[in-house]
Amino acid sequence: MPASSLSEPAADTPVLAVEGLHITVNGGRTEAVRDISFTVRAGEAVGLVGESGSGKTLTCRSVLGALPPGVQVSAGTATLADRGGGSTDLTGLDRRGWERLRGVRLGAVFQDPASYLNPSLTVGRQLAEPLMVRQGLSRAAAHRRAVDLFTAVGLHRPAEVYHRYPHELSGGMLQRVLIAVAVSGDPELLVADEATTALDTVVQAEVLDLLGRLRSERGLALLLVSHDLAVVAEVCDRIVVLYAGEVVEEGPTEQVLAAPAHPYTEALLRVASLGDWSRRELAVIPGRPPEAGRAPTGCRFADRCAHARPECRDGVVELRSAGEGRRSRCVRLEALHLSGTVLQEVSA
């Protein structure tokens, strides 16, 4: 029960609390996500990291009510708190319920911005229309608010951008438009699913800065999903590392990077984009993650782990405390001295 075991003051009630989430695929035959729990508080940025198949996308899609056919939440809850003190269990929502929530209390941005916009309407209209429908603004007021939002997301010449069609804008500009759409209803939570993966390096850094700024200015809770540990490290206060459908480690970003509490995190750190510009032997993680439903008994990472011992395969490994605010799913945690990366701020 991570949400309640953290003895936080009541004002720090999480905006999103995912508890014991299980997700099945293949119409319920295969379990792809097992017992995932984490929280995101107001103004906090939490990152979900893992390779493809780790369950990070399924987890994120279940929070957005956008699971594909044949995939369902089989157990657990995902609770979204609102500013009034009430809360909603997202796993029990029907279509109507989702419609009331999406774009209002919950915003989302994805990897390919162009496919979420109508190519035959100007981007301004696509932002203004929901404002008119949801917030009852007049056409003129919606136009003004849309231009304000375009300004807020750092689009140059926002009044001109309003009249542009999606094909006239670059990928980075489109992603800013979608971020404007996502925050237009002043949501409590913004979910970014690989939102910067397809962008050029320079634009990616700008969009990550924008997300960070929106978070501090609006007190937005941010759930960032990425396969790239470096991206998550840039933005997030806390990191949740997923492997083969399970949380293997969770903790504050700086601590996790400086001293990982799970061998998988250590391996991810070694292969991540280190910002190391020297010629070197590039690290790899041997083997492949197990397919959904074919995970071995015991530790699911054991087959690829440099520190594995026979006892790792004995039985289900539970997620347990690894110090203040940290959790790990490694039986050998106390015996290991995992190496992290040195965080150093070097000024210009």
Partner 1 sequence: MSTAESAAGSAAEGTALLEIDALSVAYGRRGGRPGQQILEEVSLRARAGEILGVIGETGSGKTTLARAVVGLAPVTGGRITVDGAEITGLRGRALREFRRTGRIQYLFQDPLRSLDPDLTVGALVAEPLAVTGTGSREQRAERAAEALHRVGLDPGLAERLPGQLSGGQRQRVSLARAVVTRPRLLLADEPVSALDASNRNHVLRLFDRLRTELDVAVVVISHDLSSLAGIADRIAVLYRGRLVEQGPTAEVLTHPLHPYTALLTASAPSVRREHRIPPGRLRRQEAAPEWALEGAGGCGFAARCVFADDACRAAPAVEARPGAREVACHHADTWRGRLSSPELAVVAVGR
Structure tokens at 160: 């001109």
Least distance (Å) from partner 1 to the CB of residue 209?
7
For partner 1, the closer CB: 133 or 306: 306
For partner 1, the closer CB: 293 or 315: 293
Reference 47, options 299, 249, 187; nearest CA is: 249
Interface with partner 1, residue 112, by CB under 8 A? no
Interface with partner 1, residue 51, by CB under 8 A? yes
Name which position in 288, 294, 309, 320 contacts partner 1 (CB under 8 A): 288
Interface with partner 1, residue 306, by CB under 8 A? no
Name which position in 10, 52, 69, 318 contacts partner 1 (CB under 8 A): 52
Dist. CA 43–CA 215, nearest whole Å: 6
Reference 238, options 228, 226, 223; nearest CA is: 223
Name which position in 143, 176, 215, 227 contacts partner 1 (CB under 8 A): 227
Q: Are strands 189-193 and 106-109 parallel, antiparallel or unpaired?
A: parallel
Q: Where are the alpha helices (DSSP H) in 219-306?
A: 229-235, 253-258, 263-271
Reference 58, options 83, 91, 84, 88; nearest CA is: 91
Backbone angles phi, psi at 233, to 5 degrees: -65, -30
Least distance (Å) from partner 1 to the CB of residue 241?
13
DSSP state of 28: G
Interface with partner 1, residue 294, by CB under 8 A? no
Reference 48, options 232, 183, 176; nearest CA is: 232
Name which position in 160, 186, 209, 217 contacts partner 1 (CB under 8 A): 209
Q: How far apart are the first and last CA of the chain?
A: 44
Range 246-285, binding partner 1 (CB under 8 A): 257, 267-269, 271-285
Name which position in 5, 7, 120, 344 contacts partner 1 (CB under 8 A): 344
Structure tokens at 342: 């040195």
The interface region with partner 1, picked from 109-117, 194-202, 216-224, 295-303 by CB under 8 A, is: 194-202
Range 130-189, binding partner 1 (CB under 8 A): 156, 170-171
For partner 1, the closer CB: 17 or 257: 257
Report the DSSP beta bridge partners of residue 189. 106, 221
List of residues contacting partner 1 (CB under 8 A): 51-52, 156, 170-171, 200-206, 208-209, 227-231, 233-234, 257, 267-269, 271-285, 288, 341-346, 348
